[in-house]
Each structure stands twice: as C-alpha cells, then as structure tokens.
Amino acid sequence: MPPHTQPPPKPTNKTPNNKHAPALTFALAGNANVGKSVIFNQLTGSSQIIGNWPGKTIDRAEGTLNFEGHNIKIIDLPGIYSFSTFSMEEIVSRDYIALEKPHAVINVVDASVLERNLFFTLQLIEMHAPLVLCLNQVDVAKNKGMLIDKDKLQTALGIPVILATAIRGEGIYDVVREAVKVATHKQNPPTLKYRQPIEEKINQLQQLITKENLDLQYPPRWLAIKLLEGDSEITPLIANKSPPIVETSKQIAAELEHNCQEPCFSLIASERYALANQITATALQQSERTNTLSDKLEWLTTHKIWGYLTAIGVIAGLLLWTFFIGNTLSGIITNVLNFIYPVDPTLTTELPLLTILLNGLWGGFSAGLTLIIPFVIPFYLLLAFIEDSGILTRVAFMMDSAMHKMGLHGKALIPIILGYGCNVPAIQACKIMETRRERLLAAFAITFAPCSARTLILFGMVGLFVGIQWALLLYVIDIAVIFALGRIAMKAVPGKSTGLIMELSNFKLPSLKVVLKQTWTRTKSIIYVVFPIYLVGSTLIQAAYALNILSPLSEALAPLTVWWLGLPAFAGVLLILGTIRKEFVLIGAVAILSTTNLLVGFTPVQLVILALVAMLYLPCVSTIAILGKEFGWKAAAIISVANIGAALIIGGIAFRLISLFVPV
Amino acid sequence: MTKKLTQDCIKTIYTLTKNENYASNEKITQKLNLTTTNLTEILQELTQEGHINYSPTNGSTLTQKGLREAQKITSNRYRLTKFLNHTIHNKNKNDKTQPQTPPQSSSNPPACSNNSANCVLSNCENCLKQHPQGFEEIGKHNKNLTSLYELKAGKTAKISSIRGERKILQRLLDLGLTPGTQIKVAKIAPMGGPVEILVRGSKLALGQNIAINIFVETPKETPPPNEV
C-alpha cells in the first residue's frame, strides 16, 4: 500500500502562478454513493450536500481548483450504474463525457464493491474517456477483508489507478496529479476485448462504422456496441446518417440472439460483467472477514421487531433531541435578551413610529434568536448525522410494503424523511423515484411532511406553551395524515407503481467534520437570508397592525378562523403570512402580540389548533415554486388546494373534538 | 391461411417455449389439431413475417417481434376470456402475494394443461396485471426453477431467467443480475416486504413484485437417505 504522505490539495483563490496555463476540465463519474461529492467538496472547497444514500447529486455541480499552476474546473456528475438510456442522469452524464469531452474523467470507484463498479468503468473505457481510476474507500474494503492489488488492476484495465480514502483526504492529491498527467499527455485509449462470438460481431460492425465515416462524436467501437444493444438514442442517430448500418446491425443482432438464445442487450451486459468479474478476480484478494459493528447494526435495523423500533426511535429521537436541546438553549437566550432589553408590550415612546420600529425590529430579532435558531441547529445537526450514517436505505427497506399502500415504494421514504428538514430539496430529491407518477405522489406526501419550519411552530407554540406531549401528538397526527392523504392521492392519480430496486448503503460512523459542515451550510442560509426577512417582516407586520390595515383582512377571514377553527380573528393574518415562510406564523404572532409569551393572545387549545392548521394548510412559497418547476403549475395548484382543504377540514374537526373535552 | 390459425400458432409456440427451449412441430400439431403439412405452411409464413425462428431439427422459437405479437394476442384474449371464465378461474386464481408459476414448473403444470388458451392465461395473469405494456424475458429456462421470492434467508442460488419490462431488465442487468450470476438471500423484510440479496459484492433490495419475476436455480439438495 503506498503511503499517502502528500496532503490533499488546498483549494485556493490565489491567482495561478502561470497565467498562461490552459484551463482544464475534469469530470467526476461513477456509481451512486461512492464518494464523488466528498472528493468534489475536498477539491473545490464547496459544500455540496453529502449523504449516505444513493442519488443525492441530482444536477451536476461545478467548482474550481487551482492545482500547481493549473486552473481546473471540476464537474461532479450524478451517480449512475450504466450508460443505458433509461434515466435522465444517464443520458446527461453520457452526453457530457462524449460530447463536451472533459480533459480527464476521474472514475470514482467503491473498492468494497469492485466488480459492480468496474462494469461502469468498462463502459467509460468503451467511450474512450481519458480516465483515472480513483479506488475510493479502501479502508472500508480492508475492513471487509479485501486487498486490492493496484498494479494488477492497472495492467488489466490499462488506465492509471490511485488508492484513496477520500473522507480523510488520502490519495486525493495523487488523483489530481494523475488526472493532470492524463489531460496533458494524450495517450491511446485502451481497448478491452470481449469473448467470441460477441467480439467478432462488434468488430465487424465497428469496421463498417469506421469505413462509413459517420462524423459522430462517439468512438466507433462504442457505437457498434450501442447498436447491438438496440440503444434507443444511438440507433436513430445513426439511422439518420446511414440506414444500411442500422439494418446490418439488426441482422447481426438477430443472428447473435438466435445463436445464443438470448436478447442482445442481456448478452452484452453479461459479457461486460464477465470481464469485470475476471479483472476483479486477478486484482482482488478476499480474506476471512470478521463480524464488524456495521454487520451488527445491519442486523438490528432490519430485524422484524427491532428494525421498526429503531426507525421510530430515530424519528422520535430527532424530535425529542431537538426539543430538549432547543428548549434549553432558548431559555438561556431569552434570559440573556431580557437582561439586555426586556420585551415590554406596554412600552410606548412619544413617537409612534419609533415604537413600531423598535418593537418590530427587536421583536423579529428576539423571536428569531429565541424561537428559531435554538431549534434549527440541533435539528439539522442530527438530521445530517442520520443522513450520513446510512440508516435511511434500511428504513426504506423495512417500510417498503407500507409505502406500497400509498402507491409508492420504500425509496420514497428517503425524500420524505429529508422533507423533515426542508421540503424544497426533498422535492428535488424525488428524482430518485422512477416514474413521474411516483415523483408526484412522493412530492405530495412531502408537502405534508413537517419541515423544520413547521417543527418550529409545533415546538415554539405548542411545545413551549402547552406541553411537549401535545407537540408530539400533533406530529403523530401529521404522519397519519400523510398516510391517509397519500392513499387518496394514489387512487386519484392513475397508473401503476414500479417495484423497489435499491442499493443498500453501508453503515458508517458519520464524520464529525461532514456533519458540522452540513449543519452550517443549512443554518447559514437561515442566518444570512431569512433573518433579515424576519426583521423587516416583523416591523412591517407591526406597522400594518398599528395602522389597522390588517383588520379588514382578519374580518374577511373571520368565518373561517373564528367560527370554524375557533381562533382569534388575527390568526387569519398569521396564516396568510405563513405562506411566505411558515415561521412567519410564529414571528407574526410575536410581532402582533409584542411579546414572546404567546399565552397573552391565545388559549392553549387555540395554540394547538393554530399549529395544526399551520402545519398542514399550504406549502410555503418556495415549496409551491419548486412544485411548479418540477411538475407544472397545474399540479402545484392542485396540491396547494388539497393542502388547504385538508388543513381546514382536519383543523375544524380537531377543534370540535377538543372542545368536547376541554373548555375553550 | 386464416388469421385466427396463425395467431393460435404463435400463442402455442409461446406457451410451449415457456417450458422448453424449442416448440417442436409434433407438439404444436398435437395442440392445434393440425396436419403436418398445414403446420409447415403456417410456420413458413410466420418465419417470413419474422415472427419465429424455425429450425428443422429443433423446432420453433419466437423472435422479439413474435414475442410482442404473442403478448398482444394473449392480452386481448386475456381481457375477453377473463370475463367469460370468471367462475372457472375463481378457484385457482393466483393470489397477488403468491409467486406466479415459474416458466418451468417442472412437477405440476397449471391445472389447465390440455387447454392452451387457459394455460397462457394462468401463466400470465400476474404479469399482465403488473406489466400491461408487456414484458420480455432474459436467460434460459432450465429445469427446477423457483422464484427468488420463495427462497429463504441465507440461501444461495443461481439466476436463471428474469421477466419484466425492458427498463427493469436493463436496470437489473446493470446492477449485476445477469443470467448465471450467483446470489445469496440476506434478508427478507416482514409483511410482504422486499428481499435483500448479495450480488457481486453489493447489497440490493428488491421489491416483492421484482423478486417474484426472477427465477433461480437452487443447488441440488442431497436427497434424504431412504430409511424404511
């Protein structure tokens, strides 16, 4: 094993030493969940979200690196298993590598699943991509008793191979250095031969394509293979240039299929795997493996009783941890703020404008600081930990049959759980689902998932002033609502559901650095972007309230708020504000009441009902926007109306039910 | 040649090739009550149309085109006869959770073995339900196949054939489930949940409706000693 003495290259913003050095472009490509984003972040110093579940890089990410005088643009491609044309990511990655021709392609490979990863490497070699193989996670492989002979692998594949443990920065320097070498010294790409009779047919077709000189960006051998596979993109492309070639390829394919009694696409996949298997056998030495902690966790999380209990425990733990840490922090901050400047609702100065400004700004600031920040930070911290640990795919595995009742399969649970953080990236993550129907159903379920803003409303309104058990009850109700409405939506959207095909990720101890960085990335956006909005928003609300602009609005909504939901009239304004950002329900209440003690303006029952309605009633503006972008405005409108309807019906019923037991 | 007869012929070849590599002339004539000359004529026509591959020594197999045609015929037929045969089928209707009859049901073929139309029906009822757009099949029909979903946790087996839509087949192939691959069942989730399998060093979760259409060969178990 070569020593990894060299430190990882530091991303710098310094001007390059040699200003005339040509700009290089490197692409990171490989299977899902092999650590491409980890390497990308280390190279570019950016903070792409990392998670231990397949499919989180949706669109390609770009960053820059300055390495020994070279200006390098790094592209992080989404993780794929193959270059067939069945998913958008595969087409995007394939076209990027073939048509935009990056100077080097760094193929990141999970050393512990070498054979499966090499299947993709072989396709990159077929495409004549200028390759460097980054054999990542050698530490995981070693724990599994796998030793990989780098030199043998290098010889077998004909491309440079670097061993790396990206999470610790080991081997990254060598990978970049090797990629620069590949990019600057053009070499003839290797050709790996398949067995007869397939090799012979590929050759025959390849010669035909070379002779015809089709003037396509793709290498002839690759085109030949794709034609035999009957690729739905490449075949019409060639048919445009030269129909006879397609005809010949069909004949050859039919001949092969007849001789081997097997469809061609299956034959070629088998051939590639046979080669991958053979190469793996020469380079990999498997010794006895011991039962690792990861095995025990696997056993626990997929056990028929413990598995479900851990899944529930993880969610409940996330909430309880958020509440107790948040509550403690919130108490401390409130005390500090009171010490500096006690919030006084009766405070009046001679100048009404100054009062509004002072109360508004201070109210927004203290509401953000006492009710939001203390809860958001521990929440994101634990969510990043959960995302990174690898438990998500196990929960998806265990919950598959339950998700089928909603017309989805287990994988949909991953975006839904991410929806607990924020609906917007969660809806984007719905891309891991296979069909539009499933993406739509999952997105619909996500709009009810209690995102961190809704969690804040629950904790800030109900948990703090009514009792944590009520906040948790609302959570349980929310999950029941997701399930019930998911079932209705399944019936409403016609179509069939596909089955679950998902790679289960390995358990690992999340790296503290990654978790902290992730938490900071998410919290940062709240502090930088949202906090100023709080301050301004809170002041405007106070001003509008003082100037009596809001009362007509409140009165117009009174039948709904006062009669149907039993809320004070000004709650209507809060709910409207909440469509901008859900936290505004909370901030608005603080601004209007001019105190952080919400019991001044609400009874406990009203707080519970308001929180329930606020949780369900309408996705915030950003969520509606992303729904519109992903599914069209019609779908976004329908989902929004469904949300409002559900919230009003459930809120009204809940109010009447609670009124039976508790006098309002 | 009537259209009905050619359709029946395609269907019969489809049914027969479920159980064997080739549909022999002898068996087709048996099923359709035809003379050999009649059959040769039909087979010639089908070969010209590109529906079948005909080999004088072995028999006939369906081409991709023929397979699609067969699916079309059987699915139309399916809708029609489903209604008519409702009562007959009620008894042995395949339960959704029950694995469908594997392509090579060695010991007990479906109860309707003397009626080719019914045989097609019972074989494909599930597939058609799950794959209304039709399906393809990869791999070979070897003897003694069981569905992957029937395996117990801890068992190893070799993949023999997979049925499904092209898209799903391609995905499974990409993930390493090529015919002939050794797999091990690691875990089965409770309540009709997915199966976790180990394949080529990776762990995959496959939903019930996927696993049911993967047919595997289990290693021969040593027969229990004959004690009297």
How far apart (Å, rounded) are the C-alpha atoms in residues B149 and B194?
Answer: 9
Please report whether residue B36 resides in a domain: yes
How far apart (Å, rounded) are the C-alpha atoms in residues B46 and A506?
Answer: 52
Q: What is the pLDDT of residue B50?
A: 75
Please report whether residue B224 resides in a domain: no
Residue A85 Cα, gap to closest chain B Cα (Å): 9
Q: Which of B53, B167, B206 sits opposite A86 (nearest CB)?
A: B167
The candidate with the shortest Cα–Cα distance to A442, out of A409, A479, A474, A475, is: A409
Q: Are residues B11 and B118 part of one domain?
A: yes
CATH number at residue B119: 1.10.10.10
Count CA atoms within 13 Å of residue A321 on its CB side: 16
Last residue of a domain, one of A155, A184, A213: A184
Contacts of B151 (CB under 8 A, 6+ apart): B157, B185, B195, B216, B218
Q: Which of A273, A304, A500 sits opposite B210 (nearest CB)?
A: A500
Q: Cβ-count burial of A546 within 10 angstroms (0-12 exposed, 13-18 middle, 19+ buried)?
A: middle
Pairing state between β B59-62 and B52-55: antiparallel
Please report whether residue A293 resides in a domain: no
How far apart (Å, rounded) are the C-alpha atoms in residues A210 and A216?
Answer: 10
Q: Are residues A442 and A348 part of one domain?
A: yes
Helix (H, G, I), strand (E, B) or coil at A172: helix
Residue A262 Cα, gap to closest chain B Cα (Å): 6
CATH number at residue A116: 3.40.50.300
Instruction: Look at A81 and B189 and tell me if their CB atoms are within 8 Å.
Output: no
Please report whether residue B223 resides in a domain: no
Helix (H, G, I), strand (E, B) or coil at A558: helix
Q: Are residues A215 and A159 part of one domain?
A: no
Q: Which of B173, B191, B205 sits opposite A266 (nearest CB)?
A: B173
Residue A499 Cα, gap to closest chain B Cα (Å): 5
Please report whether residue A13 resides in a domain: no
pLDDT for B131 beyond 80 = no
Instruction: Look at A265 and B170 and tell me if their CB atoms are within 8 Å.
Output: yes
Tens-digit pLDDT profile for residues A338-386 = 776 655 545 555 666 777 777 778 777 877 787 778 888 888 888 888 8
Helix (H, G, I), strand (E, B) or coil at A333: helix
Count CA atoms within 13 Å of residue A102 on its CB side: 27
How far apart (Å, rounded) are the C-alpha atoms in residues A52 and A59?
Answer: 17
Residue written as token pair 């993967």: B214
In A, which residues are within 8 Å of B181 by CB distance?
273
Please report whether residue A53 resides in a domain: yes
Which range (A3-17, A333-347, B117-131, B196-210) has the least confidence? Answer: B117-131
Q: Are residues A635 and A489 part of one domain?
A: yes
Q: Are residues B154 and B64 part of one domain?
A: no
The residue ranges of chain A whose pLDDT is under 70 are: 1-22, 47, 49-59, 85-86, 290, 340-352, 663-664
Q: Cβ-count burial of A520 within 10 angstroms (0-12 exposed, 13-18 middle, 19+ buried)?
A: middle
Please report whether residue A15 resides in a domain: no
Q: What is the pLDDT of residue A44?
A: 87
**Domains identified in chain A, total number:** 3
Q: Are residues B203 and B146 part of one domain?
A: yes
Residue A636 Cα, gap to closest chain B Cα (Å): 29
Last residue of a domain, one of B87, B119, B134: B134
Q: Are residues A159 and A221 part of one domain?
A: no
Please report whether residue B158 resides in a domain: yes
Please report whether residue B227 resides in a domain: no
* Contact call for residues A53 and A418 (beta carbons, < 8 A): no
Residue A45 Cα, gap to closest chain B Cα (Å): 31
In A, which residues are within 8 Å of B168 by CB distance?
498-499, 501
Q: What is the pLDDT of residue A343?
A: 52
In B, which residues are within 8 Å of A265 by CB distance?
166, 169-170, 173
Q: Which of B130, B187, B204 sits opposite A302 (nearest CB)?
A: B187
A contact residues 239-278, partner B, Cβ 8 Å cutoff? 254, 257-258, 261-263, 265-266, 269-270, 273, 277
Burial A195-220 (b: 16+ CB within 10 A, else e): eeebeebbeebbebbeeeebebebbb
In A, which residues are within 8 Å of B64 by CB distance?
257, 263
Instruction: Look at A502 and B169 and tell me if their CB atoms are within 8 Å.
Output: no
- Residue A338: phi and psi, rounded to 5, are -60, -35
Chain centre to alpha carbon of residue A331: 33
Residue A571 has which token pair? 């709650």
Last residue of a domain, one of A222, A254, A286: A286
Residue A82 Cα, gap to closest chain B Cα (Å): 6
- Residue B133: Cβ within 10 Å count: 11
In A, which residues are within 8 Å of B210 by CB distance?
499-501
* Contact call for residues A383 and A318 (beta carbons, < 8 A): yes
Signed CA dihedral, A551, A557, A558, A561: sign only: negative
Q: Domain of B176?
A: 138-217
Last residue of a domain, one of B134, B158, B174: B134
- Residue B78: Cβ within 10 Å count: 20
Instruction: Look at A410 and B140 and tell me if their CB atoms are within 8 Å.
Output: no
Residue B178 vs residues A283, A350, B71, B204: alpha-carbon distances, Å:
22, 82, 24, 14
Last residue of a domain, one of B101, B134, B167: B134
In B, which residues are within 8 Å of A502 by CB distance?
204-205
Q: Are residues A215 and A332 part of one domain?
A: no
Helix (H, G, I), strand (E, B) or coil at A164: coil
Residue B169 Cα, gap to closest chain A Cα (Å): 8
In B, which residues are within 8 Å of A304 by CB distance?
189-190
Residue A295 has which token pair? 């095995």
Residue A474 Cα, gap to closest chain B Cα (Å): 27
pLDDT for B133 beyond 90 = no
CATH number at residue A273: 1.10.287.1770
Could you tell me how many CB contacts below 8 A there are between chain A and chain B? 130
In B, which residues are within 8 Å of A147 by CB distance?
none
In B, which residues are within 8 Å of A393 by CB distance?
205
Residue B162 Cα, gap to closest chain A Cα (Å): 10
Average pLDDT over residues B45-63: 77
Q: Find residue A639's DSSP bridge partners.
A: none
Q: Are residues B128 and B146 part of one domain?
A: no
A327 at interface of B, judged by CB pairs closer than 8 A: no
Q: Are residues A354 and A472 part of one domain?
A: yes
Q: Which of A116, A265, A496 sits opposite B176 (nearest CB)?
A: A116
In B, which residues are within 8 Å of A55 by CB distance?
none
Q: What is the pLDDT of residue A374?
A: 82
Please report whether residue A296 resides in a domain: no
Q: Are residues B162 and B110 part of one domain?
A: no
Q: Which of A84, A277, A396 sits opposite B174 (nearest CB)?
A: A84
Mean per-residue pLDDT of chain B: 71
Residue A299 Cα, gap to closest chain B Cα (Å): 9
Average pLDDT over residues B194-204: 91
In B, which residues are within 8 Å of A499 by CB distance?
168, 206-210
DSSP, residue by residue, B142-191: -SSEEEGGGSPTT-EEEEEEEEE-HHHHHHHHHTT--TT-EEEEEEE-TT
- For residue A259, the chain B residue with the least C-alpha distance is B53
Q: Which is more confidently placed, A423 or B105?
A: A423
User: Measured between alpha carbons, how far apart are the two ends of chain A, in Å?
Assistant: 72
A82 at interface of B, judged by CB pairs closer than 8 A: yes
In B, which residues are within 8 Å of A396 by CB distance?
205
Chain centre to alpha carbon of residue A262: 38
Residue A140 vs residues A59, A292, B187: alpha-carbon distances, Å:
27, 11, 22
Q: Which of B61, B173, B209 sits opposite A269 (nearest CB)?
A: B173
Instruction: Look at A82 and B202 and tell me if their CB atoms are within 8 Å.
Output: no
Residue among A273, A306, A500, A503 with most chain B CBs within 10 A, to mutate: A500
How far apart (Å, rounded) are the C-alpha atoms in residues A503 and A394?
Answer: 10
SS3 content of chain A, % helix, strand, coil (to 5): 65, 5, 30
A86 at interface of B, judged by CB pairs closer than 8 A: yes
pLDDT for B30 beyond 90 = no
User: What single DSSP character describes residue A105?
Assistant: E
Q: Are residues B88 and B19 part of one domain?
A: yes
Contacts of B134 (CB under 8 A, 6+ apart): B68, B71, B72, B75, B165
Q: Are residues A337 and A246 part of one domain?
A: no
Q: Are residues A240 and A138 part of one domain?
A: no
Residue type, position A416, single letter: I
Q: Which is more confidently placed, B141 or A656?
A: A656
Q: Are residues B98 and B47 part of one domain?
A: yes
- For residue B133, the chain A residue with the least C-alpha distance is A496
Q: Are residues B130 and B66 part of one domain?
A: yes
In A, which residues are within 8 Å of B170 by CB distance?
82, 84, 86, 265, 269
Q: Are residues B192 and B96 part of one domain?
A: no
DSSP, residue by residue, B5-25: HHHHHHHHHHHHHHHSSSB-H
Q: What is the pLDDT of residue B26?
A: 79
CATH number at residue B162: 2.30.30.90
Q: Is A169 left (phi over 0), alpha (psi -120 to 50) or beta?
A: left
- For residue B189, the chain A residue with the least C-alpha distance is A398
Residue among A502, A503, A505, A506 with most chain B CBs within 10 A, to mutate: A502
Cis peptide preceding A197, ω within 30 of 0: yes
Q: Are residues A112 and A217 part of one domain?
A: no
Q: Are residues A204 and A169 part of one domain?
A: no
User: Measured between alpha carbons, how far apart are the two ends of chain B, in Å?
Assistant: 60
Q: What is the pLDDT of residue A161?
A: 94
* Contact call for residues A62 and A74 (beta carbons, < 8 A): yes
Please report whether residue A102 resides in a domain: yes
Instruction: Look at A499 and B209 and tell me if their CB atoms are within 8 Å.
Output: yes
* Contact call for residues A563 and A605 (beta carbons, < 8 A): no
Q: Which of A269, A393, A398 sits opposite B178 (nearest CB)?
A: A269
Q: Are residues B9 and B115 part of one domain?
A: yes
Please report whether residue A557 resides in a domain: yes
Q: What is the pLDDT of residue A159?
A: 93
Q: Is B94 left (phi over 0), alpha (psi -120 to 50) or beta?
A: beta
Q: Are residues A164 and A212 part of one domain?
A: no
Residue A468 vs residues A80, A464, A471, A475, A525: alpha-carbon distances, Å:
44, 7, 5, 11, 28
Q: Which of A119, A261, A501 sits opposite B171 (nearest CB)?
A: A501
Q: Are residues B194 and B127 part of one domain?
A: no
Contacts of A21 (CB under 8 A, 6+ apart): A69, A70, A71
**Domains identified in chain B, total number:** 2
- For the CA atoms of A284, A287, A290, A291, the dihedral, rounded to the nearest 10 degrees, stands at 50
Q: Which of A269, A277, A500 sits opposite B174 (nearest CB)?
A: A269
Please report whether residue B91 resides in a domain: yes
Q: How confident is the model at residue B198 (pLDDT cuts 50, 70, 90)?
A: very high
Helix (H, G, I), strand (E, B) or coil at A179: helix
Residue written as token pair 């927004």: A364
Q: Domain of A91?
A: 24-184
Instruction: Look at A115 and B201 and tell me if their CB atoms are within 8 Å.
Output: yes
Please report whether residue A16 resides in a domain: no
Instruction: Look at B205 and A397 and tell me if their CB atoms are within 8 Å.
Output: yes
Q: Are residues B189 and B125 part of one domain?
A: no
Q: Are residues A465 and A426 part of one domain?
A: yes
